[in-house]
Amino acid sequence: MFKRILTISLAILMAACAGCVRTEAPSNEPDNAEAIGFINKKGQAVPLSIRIKDREKMPLDSYDAAYSTVNNEFAVTMLGAMPEDHTCVFSPLSLQIALQILATGGDEATCEKMLNSICPGLDRKTIETSSAALIDRLVKSEGVTINSAVAVNSAYQVCEAFANSAADNYLASVGTLDFSDPDAALAEINGWVEHNTDGLIKQLLDRSDISVETAVVILNALTLKLNWKHPFTLQRGQIVFTDINGNTSSAPEMKLVKELNYGKFPEGQMAVLPYEGGEYAMALILPAEGVTASEAAAALIGKYESCSPINICIRMPKLELNDKIDVLKMTEKLGIKEALEGNYTEMIGDSVSITTILQGATLSVTESGTTAAAATAIVGTKGVEWFETEMVCDRPFAMVIYNVETGAVLFVSVVNSLD
């Protein structure tokens, strides 16, 4: 069964727990329904194996429910990679889609390793057809937008199979971008992110993330603007919030008294708050005593159908949250470290090293509804070698100069200060 609660609601849940790249928005569909490609700046079509008109008739059963299962598991994995006391908001789906596009740019072994890391137990065909069906339905649903893009350095030739896969399975626009002026390229990329998140995320990448050696940038943007089916009432007073460290602060209080699906579990309480139209919902989780919000969320993700109707009063703070995640700092916890060290030779026909993976996200929860956005960027650079460890001499260190053949020590230095 196709689950419309989906990971977009999970992005909201996480917060509760603590073509071409251009400044104009790329069209998800060509103007001509008979067209078979997305058009980049040079007017070159990126072929699609699935025509737009055929997408309209894509059967629901092309979506495998197992993809929802691995998506939920990836959400839990991301949650476990976050610092325990960190107030976070992120989109597992946005990162997962970007990593799936990246996987198709690796050789056969690398692609398999990455897909097995983020979608264990599913074969490539199931992953791609389920992703295509899911994205297609998100694009058509009310209040949610999802876009992907692949910008290839104009100094290189994009591999046709990689471009086709990104367009076919992820509705990505694929095109070239001039990186000889890194500042201009950065402005173009960040402009795409800002436009495709409705201005909610303005600067995802920094100047240090882009250089003339940048070979490819993979982008995904996911946004939602949804109204509650049952709006809250904004109270006159403030709610006093006690954080994970025992400190208190106050925020405007929202209140709702309604019959909602609710469940009480060993890990905590969960209420399901539906949005207008019934396609999406927020799972609001309050952990039990001695359980962290992250632990409770990890245990209860996917258990929405275990809740049953009950009259309930919900009081919660009005929220506005922003977050930025450096994914490369959590690759081991996400289980993708080895996959990122693979051979990404199928994007430009030459080896590309992954030098940056960032996700920015924002979430606003008010009495009338929810606005959220997430953007993920993966930067691949040509000619940069992946390293297994790093030495940063920003504390006392020593130096020994010796003769290689005899081992005789000529000089020794111990640096305890720079004065």
Query: What DSSP letter does each residue of 30-78 carry, written as one string?
Result: -SSTT--EEE-TTS-EEE-SS-HHHHTT--GGGS-HHHHHHHHHHHHHH
For residue 275, give the DSSP letter: B
Tokens (6 digits) for 174: 């694929």
Query: Which one, of 377, 378, 371, lies nearest residue 145 by Cα?
Result: 371
User: What integer pLDDT is reported at residue 87 of this predicted model?
Assistant: 86
Domain boundaries, the chain: 6-226+321-382
Most confidently predicted of 42-46, 101-105, 241-245, 255-259: 101-105
- The span from the first CA to the last CA of the chain, in angstroms, equals 67
Check whether 375 has a pLDDT greater than 50.
yes
Check whether 412 has a pLDDT greater than 90.
no
The pLDDT tens digits for 251-269 are 999 988 899 999 999 999 8
CATH fold for domain 6-226+321-382: Antithrombin; Chain I, domain 2 (3.30.497)
For residue 289, give the DSSP letter: T
User: What integer pLDDT is reported at residue 385 of this predicted model?
Assistant: 53
What is the rounded average pLDDT of the residues 81-86? Answer: 86
Check whether 126 has a pLDDT greater than 50.
yes
Sign (positive or negative) of CA dihedral 56, 58, 61, 64: negative
**Over the chain, what is the mean pLDDT?**
81
Helix-helix angle 160-170:124-140, to 10 degrees: 50
Check whether 26 has a pLDDT greater than 70.
no
CA atoms within 13 A of residue 171's CA, in its CB half-sphere: 24
What is the rounded average pLDDT of the residues 341-367? Answer: 93
Of 103 and 283, the one with more pLDDT = 103
Check whether 7 has a pLDDT greater than 70.
no
User: What is the distance between the alpha carbons of residues 89 and 15, in angstroms, rounded to a whole number?
Assistant: 4
The pLDDT tens digits for 377-395 are 999 998 655 555 667 777 8
Query: Which one, of 86, 188, 96, 192, lies nearest residue 135 by Cα?
Result: 96
**% of the chain with per-residue pLDDT over 70:** 78
For residue 119, give the DSSP letter: S
**Residue 213's pLDDT band (cuts 50, 70, 90):** very high
DSSP readout, 318-359? -EEEEEEEEGGGGHHHHT-HHHHTS-B-TTTSS-EEEEEEEE
Q: Is 25 within 8 Å of 196 (Cβ atoms)?
A: yes
What is the rounded average pLDDT of the residues 85-92? Answer: 88
CA atoms within 13 A of residue 313's CA, in its CB half-sphere: 3
What is the rounded average pLDDT of the residues 318-326? Answer: 91
User: What is the distance between the alpha carbons of residues 6 and 282, in angstroms, rounded to a whole number?
Assistant: 10
Window from 19-23, 107-111, 346-350, 372-376 with minimum mean pLDDT: 19-23
Alpha-carbon distances, residue 204 vs 83, 121, 194 (angstroms): 21, 32, 9
User: What is the distance between the alpha carbons of residues 183 and 167, in angstroms, rounded to a whole number?
Assistant: 27
